[in-house]
Structure 1
Amino acid sequence: MVISEKKQHIDKIMGAVNSGSAAARSSLAASWRRSVERHGLDPADNITVNLVNASELHERRNKHDRFMMVAAPKLDHLFGLVGNSGCGVLLTDEVGIVLDQRCTDADTDTFKEWGLCLGADWSEAAEGTNGIGTCLTEKRQVTIHRNDHFLARNIGMSCMDAPIFGTDGRLLAALDVSSARADQTESYNQLIGAMVGQTAKSIESDFFRASFPRARIVVADSGDSDIATLLAIDADDIVIGATRNARKVFDLELLGAIKPRPASDIFGREDGPTGFVKAERAAVVRALARAGGNVSEAARALGVGRATLYRRMKRLGLGD
């Protein structure tokens, strides 16, 4: 990379930072300004990427062990799609420390030279505007292509990132695909970005399902196919979990544990078992359905006598 190109980049960054209106017009310029004013960075800094020590990395990976196990097959699949084009796949924790990585053997040294490796800190506070850090800071999918980066030493890279949220609605991780290929185009980045977004949604959904193994998972239509909108409902028809987007859609607690609510209240209908009579009727109807209408078999499943079940059916309006 020629010195003049770096100088032009530094001048552009500082011009935007010192502008009175650039940050208001552009989210990218706003990130550049954060890099200077909040994090005290200089686009001319040429320090190496910070790496956490082996002990801290081990601790962070252990903390996210169950999540990483769920994510691993998705990382493998994504890498299978983009790895041969010189791209690497990275998974970070909620503050931007790289926990897992996929890259070809031929690209390993290149990625390590760029700091795209296990234990690297790619937060905005450490690296300024970059795919991972800016994605985590703004909690949205981003593409930071070459000169979009804050530090001049990073302008040879393209990074496509999407956030992943945990079952408590809080930020959990960032999924990143990075490339240092000089010929990588913005249109190609758009294709990769779409795959990154879909994979992040899939990981978030799979981790949510794995976190509520005994619950019924309801997929809600939020109008955005790229966002996981899931509810976990227990055997008593009580909502016990919700993804971040489901919390927004259904006006639930945005962070932490949600207050248990009947699913019928969430979906705005009154046909669920909201009272003892309705609950009893639903139980009898389910038992009869499972027994194919055989009253004797349904009575045995409910632990009552056939005559008792007939009396209950009549009282519940199920005589026919």
Structure 2
Amino acid sequence: MNQTIVFEKHVQEIVDAAEGRATERDPEVVQSWLRCLNDHELDPEHRGEARILPETTLRQHRQEAEDLLSIARFGMEDLYRRVNSMGYVLLLTDAKGVTVDFIGDEKVDRELKRAGLYIGSEWSEANAGTCGVGACLASGEALTIHQTDHFDMAHTPLSCTAAPIYHVDGALIGVLDVSLLMSPSEKYSQALTLEVVKSCVRRIELANLMNSRKSDWIMRLNTTSEFLGVDPNCAVSVASDGTISGLTHGAHRLFAKTLGQNWKTRQGFVGKPFEDVFDFDFNDIPRLLGAETPGEQALEMSDGQIMFADVRAPVKSVSVASKPAMPDALTRIHGGDGKMLALAGKAARIVDKHISIILEGETGVGKEFVAKALHKARKKKGPFVAINCAALPEALIESELFGYAPNSFTGAHAKGKKGLIEQANGGTLFLDEIGDMPLALQARLLRVLAEKEVMAVGATKPVPVDVRVVSASHRNLKALVDAGQFRQDLFYRLNGVVLQIPALRERQDKSWVIDQVARVVSPDAPLHFSKEARQALLGYDWPGNIRELITTLEVCLALYDGDTVELPDLPEQILG
């Protein structure tokens, strides 16, 4: 059919729906169309390109969505392994419709960007019209927006299935969207996809509840006992005082129905007594522990409905009264400087979460020092492997990073060699000067991070790896992306949280830094400085930062004669 005719027919159908004429569209699609026309004042004849946010704005959204990223990533990766062969792309958006995480096929990278199925795209209903993410956020319901369900004709090739993700307090915090660039024309072809996405979100919410409410009673609930331990409908946490402390969205809807309320009114259940919802004595919950038969697992709700419960007892917390506010390793990276104090505080919040970190700063500010501190601060212990991507020759970097199989090339060792990435398994992989990595190897590194496995040169089977990636560069990675010198998909995979290390000249704790470096340079007899020498060191601009400071103090150690470093013992550029 002529595209002009298709377009005119689509616009007319939206107008008909607005004027109340019958349509075969699903009610949630019609309701979204009406919101687009009446609330957002969108023009159905407008064909809009996908909106991609600027890097600085995207970074802010990702930082605000740190908790969402950490709780959803494991579910996304598991889901993608099951659907990637069918051409699906996974998007994770925040509550404003901005894509903060993405998993897709790099082979169709350009097409995905053009369609807006990429990180940084904004899919709010007010901006993009009727779409999977936008309609999901507006309705709070899991749904599929299929092809011409979309308000904007520019998006009609897409089929988007989305499910909302709710926090343990009942607030909607994001959307998991599974999309196809091209799909069968029949909408029912996505029915199974919808159930799979809803199931994935249930597991994400359940995992978040069980992880964040470890000190409370956790009750996983199901209408039948058969799948209670496998895929419960919902879950609720109950505090020691008998009040509800958290719940999954399924439990929120169940409780609202039990009390005769509309779940969309957002009447919170957190803080309400457990016995408002259940006709069951809170003090009897312990007897449900270890229940195996349906009769032992059954409990009655206040409206008479019978639910089956699988109960987890509170995990006893270890007293933390004597512990510092943050890990010792992070307290030792500064001497009271405000910027470094903020950096340490931010690092402490994410150090044990599976989020990639980029360290930014001028050459010589101590990025590897901070990376080692992040590694030492982790509860999970393992090796720390640092790779200077700029120092490795391009001819050797592949075999050094990924290793090689026995006799895989001329000159290869007969026993093969384990690569640096595999050596970092279970620990931290520090990629220094990542901006200098060749493009071909960036694609291989991206696959390692996405698939969590590494294939050695000449090998036939991949080896599973679990590494925390910390990368650093003195170059502006976003500028390299814009110049086509760095892969955008790898950049967004690495760009989880950015920690900006200030230059030495900007730090308020320069005197502390000087003393720390002096102890390293001369551990047996720490250097002492006269008042004039210290003032000269403090007043210097330090273009080479801490690396230059180390060299300077090494010169002082060689030149000074006596107990104190005096002005004449300092290099000429310091005195100048």
TM-score bracket, normalised by the shorter chain, equals: 0.7 to 0.9
Matched, 1:268 2:289: no
**Alignment partner of 2:174: what SS?**
strand
Cα RMSD between the aligned structures? 3.1
Report deviation, 1:141: 0.9
Matched, 1:241 2:241: no
Structure 1 portions without partners, runs of 5+: 280-320
1:232 counterpart (229, 234, 237): 237
Aligned in 2, Cα 1:245/1:195: closer, same or farther, shift over 3 Å? Answer: closer
Matched, 1:70 2:95: no
Matched, 1:105 2:106: yes
Question: Does the Cα contact within 8 Å between 2:92 and 2:175 map onto a contact in 1?
Answer: yes
Q: Which moved more, 1:49-58 or 1:265-274?
A: 265-274
Question: Does the Cα contact within 8 Å between 1:52 and 1:121 map onto a contact in 2?
Answer: yes
Aligned in 2, Cα 1:83/1:24: closer, same or farther, shift over 3 Å? Answer: closer
Which is bigger in relative contact order (C-alpha 8 A, separation at least 6)?
Answer: 1
Deviations 1:228-277 (A, max 9, x none): 5222134565532223443443459945672263x566532347279xxx
Task: Quote the sequence identity (%).
Answer: 26
Equivalences for 1:171-182 in 2 at 5 Å?
Answer: 171-182=172-183
Equivalences for 1:25-44 in 2 at 5 Å?
Answer: 26-44=27-45
* Separation in 2, partners of 1:25, 1:182: 18
**Alignment partner of 1:11: what SS?**
helix
Task: Name the TM-score, length of structure 1 as normaliser.
Answer: 0.76
Report deviation, 1:47: 2.6
Paired residue for 1:207?
208
Q: Which amino acid aligns with 2:283?
A: G
Question: Does the Cα contact within 8 Å between 1:16 and 1:23 map onto a contact in 2?
Answer: no
Aligned in 2, Cα 1:48/1:21: closer, same or farther, shift over 3 Å? Answer: same
* Separation in 1, partners of 2:4, 2:82: 35
Report deviation, 1:151: 0.6
Deviations 1:15-35 (A, max 9, x none): 222336669993322211211
Report deviation, 1:7: 2.2
Question: Does the Cα contact within 8 Å between 2:25 and 2:149 map onto a contact in 1?
Answer: no
* Separation in 2, partners of 1:241, 1:121: 30
Question: Does the Cα contact within 8 Å between 2:202 and 2:234 map onto a contact in 1?
Answer: no
Q: Which has the larger radius of gyration?
A: 2
Question: Does the Cα contact within 8 Å between 1:205 and 1:228 map onto a contact in 2?
Answer: no
Aligned in 2, Cα 1:133/1:240: closer, same or farther, shift over 3 Å? Answer: same
Report deviation, 1:162: 0.8
Matched, 1:258 2:270: yes
Report deviation, 1:56: 2.0
* Separation in 1, partners of 2:190, 2:9: 23
Paired residue for 2:164?
163
Report deviation, 1:227: 8.1
Aligned in 2, Cα 1:66/1:182: closer, same or farther, shift over 3 Å? Answer: closer
Aligned in 2, Cα 1:25/1:156: closer, same or farther, shift over 3 Å? Answer: closer
Q: Which amino acid aligns with 1:229?
A: C
* Separation in 1, partners of 2:156, 2:250: 33
**Alignment partner of 2:280: what SS?**
coil
Question: Does the Cα contact within 8 Å between 1:67 and 1:207 map onto a contact in 2?
Answer: no
**Alignment partner of 2:283: what SS?**
coil
Question: Does the Cα contact within 8 Å between 1:216 and 1:233 map onto a contact in 2?
Answer: yes
Q: Which amino acid aligns with 2:235?
A: L
* Separation in 2, partners of 1:177, 1:165: 17
Question: Does the Cα contact within 8 Å between 2:68 and 2:173 map onto a contact in 1?
Answer: no
* Separation in 2, partners of 1:248, 1:83: 31
Report deviation, 1:46: 2.0
Paired residue for 2:122?
121
Structure 2 portions without partners, runs of 5+: 287-576
Paired residue for 1:218?
219
Equivalences for 1:188-207 in 2 at 5 Å?
Answer: 188-207=189-208
Aligned in 2, Cα 1:267/1:132: closer, same or farther, shift over 3 Å? Answer: same
**Alignment partner of 2:222: what SS?**
coil
Q: Which amino acid aligns with 1:218?
A: M
Aligned in 2, Cα 1:208/1:114: closer, same or farther, shift over 3 Å? Answer: same
Q: Which amino acid aligns with 1:259?
A: G
Question: Does the Cα contact within 8 Å between 2:252 and 2:269 map onto a contact in 1?
Answer: no
Question: Does the Cα contact within 8 Å between 2:243 and 2:270 map onto a contact in 1?
Answer: no
**Alignment partner of 2:162: what SS?**
strand
Report deviation, 1:182: 4.5
* Separation in 2, partners of 1:267, 1:26: 34
Aligned in 2, Cα 1:112/1:168: closer, same or farther, shift over 3 Å? Answer: same
Aligned in 2, Cα 1:232/1:74: closer, same or farther, shift over 3 Å? Answer: same
* Separation in 2, partners of 1:49, 1:24: 24
Paired residue for 2:8?
7
* Separation in 1, partners of 2:253, 2:135: 22
**Alignment partner of 1:47: what SS?**
coil
* Separation in 2, partners of 1:136, 1:130: 10
Aligned in 2, Cα 1:19/1:264: closer, same or farther, shift over 3 Å? Answer: closer
* Separation in 2, partners of 1:173, 1:31: 18
**Alignment partner of 1:214: what SS?**
coil
* Separation in 1, partners of 2:23, 2:182: 29
Aligned in 2, Cα 1:12/1:249: closer, same or farther, shift over 3 Å? Answer: closer
**Alignment partner of 1:101: what SS?**
strand
Report deviation, 1:154: 1.0
* Separation in 1, partners of 2:124, 2:3: 26
Aligned in 2, Cα 1:239/1:19: closer, same or farther, shift over 3 Å? Answer: closer
Question: Does the Cα contact within 8 Å between 1:264 and 1:271 map onto a contact in 2?
Answer: yes
**Alignment partner of 1:241: what SS?**
strand
Question: Does the Cα contact within 8 Å between 1:22 and 1:30 map onto a contact in 2?
Answer: no
Paired residue for 2:498?
none
